[in-house]
Structure 1
Amino acid sequence: MEYIKTRNELRTAFEATHDVAERKVLRFIDGHSRRFIEKSPFLLIGSQDASGNGDVSPKGDFPGFVKIIDKNTLAIPDRPGNNRLDTWENIIENPGVGLIFMIPGMNETLRINGQARLTLDKDLCSQMQVNNRPAKAVLIVKILEVYMHCAKAFIRSKLWSPNTWSPRTDMPTLGKMLKDHASLSETASELDDILDKAYRNSLW
């Protein structure tokens, strides 16, 4: 199998970028992107370490959980998780991040690229508390690019159409998958109990 090695090879294999796609990129948060962020309960963060190893991590909370500090700066709260800290370690080595914001039921997404730093600032963590529990940390993103992404991927996948969804029972429980993935000593039931307890007691 041959692979594309140069930008020229790549561009030759595809049609020219549509003019609108070239011109749609902003360098700041405008009114529409502000409203999108305020309505969004979910985003994905893409990051890389210094060696270029990639990672994508989901972040979810109440709609508007991402704080807009100004038209060039976002603050994303960190909530209790598994403490692998993959994204945070990557950002310490390489601050470049890509964000995709989603609104349930909406096929278009908002994309933001920028440079990120992590802070444990007590005042800011307190401002982003839920149920009297401050954020564990806050990711500050300095914005470089803001743009809307069209709906094609969501239309093709019918992502928000319940009648196309597979029954949950088509897949085993997460405890069962973890047990099989890593040959863990705990039973699948024990792992599911651990997860259920975490879902009940440590979302925030």
Structure 2
Amino acid sequence: MDGVHAAKGESIKTLDELEAIIGKAPPALDLKVINHLDSGALRWIAASPLLFACFGSGTTLGVTLGGGPPGFAGGDARTLRLSAAMLDDPSLAQVGQGFGALFLLPGTGETLRVTGTVSAQHPGEISITVHECYGHCAKALIRSGFWEALPDGTAPSNPSAFIDATRFMALATSDAQGRADLSPKGDPAGTMVRLDPHRVWFADRPGNRRIDSFRNILTQPRVAATLLIPGSTHVAYVSGTARITADEAVRSQFAVQNKVPALVTAIDDAALQLRESPALVRAGMWPVKPPTHGIQAAQLFIEHVKLNKESSLGARLASAALSVPGVSGLLKKGLEKDYKDNLY
């Protein structure tokens, strides 16, 4: 692997510098965020065989996977409950810590993101008080070819070679108060992550534009991540201190389809571990089977906008527009067009 040549430009240190490059997050994005688990989210969680989870306190941050037969996670409107036995590293969960998760549905590109706080630990069960719940766009999983993979028992045992073959990342960040977040990243092999002797690099691609990860890195740069080769049950775990750069020489090394990313993130002094994930083994996701759950991501997005408590005129107009019969199909077509036209 050639690695990434050292950046010449300065790291981005303020939100103003960040927004000068990528713009402000559109306020409308918050309309899809709700503060509880509605019936659609609970159905999604009940049907999910795999989650990525992070736990943080503001000074510590860890990431793990959970997986098994659908139903290993559940809860009610205010509380998410996880089976500790289904997590690869349940010791990361401590009462009072921030929590972030991605729930995946086989064959579905969109993911369900949930954030909260660990509120209790019972024998065999971890309880999370829910703060936010929303659907995330499908671009990361599409770029990674996540659901096109077949079972692959030939993943490289050498960490450097594994990194080079990685196509999916779940990036964990938290703010200074320990509020944690987990964000999906996806790219073809060779452009997802780059490794040099002292750091790991990855690019920012078009997504949901909430910039939560960037905001967190600017205030609390400690990060952790899981790196996957779809089809393999092995996972690389990376942790270190992140910084963001817009250095052109670095960005150009991550070009895909002649599109150069606006930003690249480095994880300095990166600690790297490679091991098999029992959660991925139990989940048995590849080859993907035809879905039977009947869940439609576009409908979930619509219901969340309608449930959002924002009372502005824009929010009321959005809710009214999404109540028109047939709008779910139109939104689905709009998402599919965006995924095709704006993948990079």
TM-score (norm. length: structure 1): 0.78
* Shift, 1:69, TM fit: 4.9
Looking at structure 1, the residues matched to 196 and 259 of structure 2 have their Cα atoms a distance apart, in angstroms, of 24
Matched ranges for 1:59-138 at <5 A: 59-138=185-264
Residue 175 of structure 2 corresponds to 49
Q: Deviations over 1:62-119 (max 9, x none)?
A: 1121453522212101111121111111111110111111112211111011110111
Unmatched tracts of structure 1, length 5 or more = 6-12, 14-30
* Shift, 1:173, TM fit: 2.2
Residue 18 of structure 1 corresponds to none
Residue 277 of structure 2 corresponds to 151
* Shift, 1:172, TM fit: 2.8
Q: Taking structure 1 as reference, are residues 182 and 124 closer, same or farther at Cα in structure 2, changes over 3 Å only?
A: same
Looking at structure 2, the residues matched to 161 and 132 of structure 1 have their Cα atoms a distance apart, in angstroms, of 31
Q: Taking structure 1 as reference, are residues 158 and 47 closer, same or farther at Cα in structure 2, changes over 3 Å only?
A: same
8 Å Cα contact 2:168/2:192 also seen in 1: no
Letter in 2 for 1:178: F
Q: Taking structure 1 as reference, are residues 69 and 170 closer, same or farther at Cα in structure 2, changes over 3 Å only?
A: closer
Residue 297 of structure 2 corresponds to 174
Looking at structure 1, the residues matched to 206 and 181 of structure 2 have their Cα atoms a distance apart, in angstroms, of 19
User: Which has the larger displacement, 173-182 or 46-55?
Assistant: 173-182
User: Which has the larger displacement, 84-93 or 184-193?
Assistant: 184-193
Unmatched tracts of structure 2, length 5 or more = 1-92, 96-122, 124-156, 307-318
Residue 329 of structure 2 corresponds to 189
8 Å Cα contact 2:159/2:236 also seen in 1: yes
Return structure 1 stretches of 4+ with deviation > 4 angstroms: none
Residue 38 of structure 1 corresponds to 164
Q: Secondary structure at the match of 2:224?
A: strand
Looking at structure 2, the residues matched to 79 and 52 of structure 1 have their Cα atoms a distance apart, in angstroms, of 25
User: Which has the larger displacement, 77-86 or 145-154?
Assistant: 145-154
More strand by share: 2
Looking at structure 2, the residues matched to 84 and 161 of structure 1 have their Cα atoms a distance apart, in angstroms, of 32
TM-score (norm. length: structure 2): 0.48
| Structure 1 vs Structure 2 CA RMSD | 2.5
8 Å Cα contact 2:201/2:264 also seen in 1: yes
